[in-house]
Amino acid sequence: MEIKKAIIPAAGLGTRFLPLTKVIPKVLLPLVGKPMISYAVREAKDSEIEKIIFVLSQNQNILDYFRRNQKLENILKQRSQKEILEKLKKAEKEFEGISFSAVFQQMPKGDGEAILKARRQIGKDDFAVLFPDDVFESKVPAIWQLKKIFKTSQKPVIGLKRIPKEKIPHYGIVEVEKIANKIYKIKNIIEKPELAQAPSELAIAGRYVFTPDIFGYLLKTKPNKKKEIILAEALKLMIKNGKIIYGYELEGEWLECGRPEEWLRTNLYLCLRDPEYGPMLREFLKKIK
**The pLDDT value given to residue 65:** 86
Which of the four CATH numbers 2.102.10.10, 3.90.550.10, 3.30.470.10, 2.120.10.30 does domain 5-260 have? 3.90.550.10
**The pLDDT value given to residue 23:** 86
**The pLDDT value given to residue 3:** 94
**The pLDDT value given to residue 211:** 95
Residues of the chain below pLDDT 50? none
Every domain of the chain and the residues it spans? 5-260
**The pLDDT value given to residue 115:** 95
**The pLDDT value given to residue 289:** 65
Per residue in 103-113, pLDDT (tens digit) is: 988 888 899 99
**The pLDDT value given to residue 270:** 95
**The pLDDT value given to residue 13:** 82
User: What is the DSSP secondary-structure string of the chain?
Assistant: ----EEEEE-----GGGTTGGGTS-GGGSEETTEEHHHHHHHHHHHTT--EEEEEE-TT--HHHHHS--HHHHHHHHHTT-HHHHHHHHHHHHTTTT-EEEEEE-SS---HHHHHHHTHHHHTT--EEEE-TTEEEE-SS-HHHHHHHHHHHH-S-EEEEEE--GGGGGGSEEEEEEEEETTEEEEEEEEES--GGG-S-SEEEEEEEEE-THHHHHHHHSPP-TTSPPPHHHHHHHHHHTT---EEEE--SEEEE-SSHHHHHHHHHHHHHH-TTTHHHHHHHHHH--
**The pLDDT value given to residue 96:** 86
**The pLDDT value given to residue 105:** 87
**The pLDDT value given to residue 267:** 95
